[in-house]
């Protein structure tokens, strides 16, 4: 009994500490006390009025405006059809990199959500074929309704993706709006409760005489910013470290509970630190601003400064004149500057014209596949690639580091 009370106090303290850090760094909130009290999920996310005001969105207990959108089969489905269940309504786009990052976890939570009388419902952009393909790819079997007229998307009209509302059985807003993958996923986890089993058909499902699913399931991973967490760590180990700091020695029971928590939840870094020197640069092919496919293979035999950028990124704007100068100087040394940009083609075209870019600007898809292959989601970040296709220096993050890499790259090229 004493151990249970102590563990609960530790979880509450851990929750408070994590909340203060996460609120500052992306406001990631995971209500760890739900592990001990799954029944409290009925009130998931019902923070005070101050939190609601800070989050914005529709007020608590207000009714979500009625809507009716077609599902993937073309049938008109009104929101009213889901009355009697709590609904986790998510503004969604399978072409969104953040949606893509949490889709597998949401798929895994579907069964647990249903047990808690929660209906996962995606209000998605795109056509039926692309959404059907995305759902099959990730194993999502929940209803998907298509936003054919964005101006009729109600509270999501001016929102990005993913954004979620939790509705109660009467269709009223039951939690503050959750904006971003780092808030949508913890809300879904909290609603699902601690007993999260493996996906349907998973070979890890328990056989007769084996341990229960809760102790065999692969851990869910909660991604945190890389600068907050350099490696993976289980929830149980986090609690053990805190108790050790207070001089509390773990008993056999504590070790067992910690192992269970480790199997339930693992914290891991998000964003990556980039591929290191000596790694073979992943080859890719992307369209440029004119729509022509450009492959990295075309530049084999030349040195490359590969820069990941974003037209909405302030430091990228500050770096732009230096890239123009580097391109001019690199051309004399047999090197090339290539920029891989996020976002819309028109935004990248506007930036190219504004700064006078003469080097290739390539457009990656919304899932940022190429950036992930280079193990980075940051901007600006640069890689110096040698003539043999190998990354020659560790990646450079930010303007100053990239300028140092430019100087280093040009010096190395002249020596060769």
Per-residue CA distances from 308 to 176, 195, 395 (Å): 34, 40, 11
| Domain assignment present for 14 | no
Residue where a domain stops, chosen among 154, 169, 196: 196
Residue where a domain stops, chosen among 196, 227, 257: 196
Asked if residue 175 lies in contact with residue 184, where contact means CB atoms within 8 angstroms, the answer is: no
The whole-angstrom separation of Cα 408 and Cα 412 is 6
| Domain assignment present for 31 | no
- The half-sphere exposure of 70 on its side-chain side, counting CA atoms within 13 A, is 11
Where are the alpha helices (H) located in 173-228, listed in sequence order? Answer: 181-192, 213-216
Rg (CA), the chain: 24
Q: DSSP character for 348? A: H
The CATH number of the domain where 105 resides is what? 3.40.30.10
The whole-angstrom separation of Cα 116 and Cα 146 is 25
| Domain assignment present for 57 | yes
The whole-angstrom separation of Cα 327 and Cα 339 is 11
Q: Tell the burial category of 273 from Cβ atoms under 10 Å away from its Cβ (0-12, 13-18, 19+).
A: middle
| Tally of structural domains, the chain | 2
Assign residue 86 a region: left if phi > 0, alpha if psi is -120 to 50, beta otherwise?
beta
User: Residue 45: which of 141, 173, 139 has the closest Cα?
Assistant: 173
Instruction: For the chain, 416 residues long, give each residue's pLDDT as a single digit of tens.
Output: 445 544 555 555 555 444 433 343 333 333 333 333 333 333 343 333 333 333 568 899 998 888 889 999 999 999 899 999 999 999 999 888 788 878 888 998 999 999 999 999 999 988 999 999 999 999 999 999 998 776 677 788 778 889 999 999 999 999 999 988 878 988 898 888 765 544 444 433 444 444 443 334 456 666 665 545 656 777 888 887 887 777 777 666 677 777 777 777 777 665 567 889 999 999 999 999 999 999 999 998 889 999 999 988 888 999 999 999 988 887 777 789 999 998 889 999 999 999 999 999 999 987 788 988 898 877 899 999 999 999 999 999 888 899 998 887 665 555 55
Q: Residue 7: how many CB atoms within 10 A of its CB?
A: 19
List phi, psi (to 5°) of 338.
-130, 130
| Domain assignment present for 125 | yes
Question: Which long-range contacts link 330-333 to residues 24+ away (Cβ below 8 Å)?
Answer: 330/303, 330/305, 330/409, 330/410, 330/413, 333/303, 333/410, 333/413, 333/414
294-307 burial: b if 16+ Cβ within 10 Å, else e:
bebeebeeebbbbb
Residue where a domain stops, chosen among 142, 164, 196: 196
Length of the chain: 416
191 and 75 in a common domain: yes
290 and 183 in a common domain: no
192 and 48 in a common domain: yes
Where are the alpha helices (H) located in 25-81, listed in sequence order? Answer: 49-55
Domain that holds residue 184: 40-196
């Amino acid at each position: 009994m004493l151990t249970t009370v102590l563990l609960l106090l530790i979880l509450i303290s851990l929750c408070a500490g994590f909340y203060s850090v996460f609120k500052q760094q992306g406001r990631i909130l995971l209500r760890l006390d739900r592990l001990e009290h799954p029944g409290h999920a009925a009130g998931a996310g019902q923070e005070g009025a101050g939190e609601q005001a800070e989050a914005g969105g529709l007020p608590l207990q207000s009714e979500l405006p009625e809507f009716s959108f077609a599902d993937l089969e073309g049938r008109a489905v009104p929101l009213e059809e889901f009355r009697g269940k709590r609904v986790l309504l998510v503004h969604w786009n399978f072409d969104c990199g953040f949606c893509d990052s949490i889709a597998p976890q949401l798929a895994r939570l579907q069964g647990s959500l249903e047990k808690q009388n929660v209906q996962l419902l995606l209000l998605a952009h795109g056509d039926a074929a692309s959404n059907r393909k995305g759902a099959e790819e990730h194993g999502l079997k929940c209803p998907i309704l298509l936003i054919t007229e964005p101006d009729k998307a109600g509270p999501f009209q001016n929102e990005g993706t993913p954004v979620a509302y939790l509705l109660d059985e009467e269709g009223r807003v039951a939690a503050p709006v959750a904006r971003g993958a780092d808030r949508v996923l913890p809300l879904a986890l909290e609603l699902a409760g601690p007993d999260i089993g493996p996906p349907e058909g998973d070979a890890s499902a328990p056989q007769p005489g084996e341990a229960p699913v809760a102790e065999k399931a692969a851990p869910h991973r909660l991604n945190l910013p890389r600068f907050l967490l350099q490696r993976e760590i289980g929830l149980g180990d986090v609690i053990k470290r805190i108790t050790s700091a207070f001089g509390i020695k773990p008993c056999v029971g504590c070790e067992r509970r910690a192992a269970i928590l480790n199997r339930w939840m693992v914290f891991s870094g998000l964003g990556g630190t980039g591929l290191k020197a000596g790694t073979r640069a992943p080859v890719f092919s992307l369209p440029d601003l004119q729509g022509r496919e450009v492959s990295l293979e075309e530049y084999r035999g030349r040195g490359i400064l590969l820069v990941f950028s974003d037209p909405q990124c302030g430091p990228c704007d500050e770096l732009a004149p230096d890239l123009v100068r580097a391109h001019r100087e690199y051309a004399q040394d047999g090197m090339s500057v290539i920029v891989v940009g996020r976002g819309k083609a028109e935004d990248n075209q506007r930036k190219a014209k504004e700064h006078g870019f003469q080097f290739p600007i390539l457009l990656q898809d919304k899932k940022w596949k190429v950036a992930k292959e280079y193990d980075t989601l940051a901007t600006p970040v640069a890689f110096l690639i040698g003539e043999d296709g190998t990354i020659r220096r560790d990646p450079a993050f930010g303007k100053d580091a990239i300028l140092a890499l430019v100087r280093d790259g040009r010096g190395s090229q002249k020596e060769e």
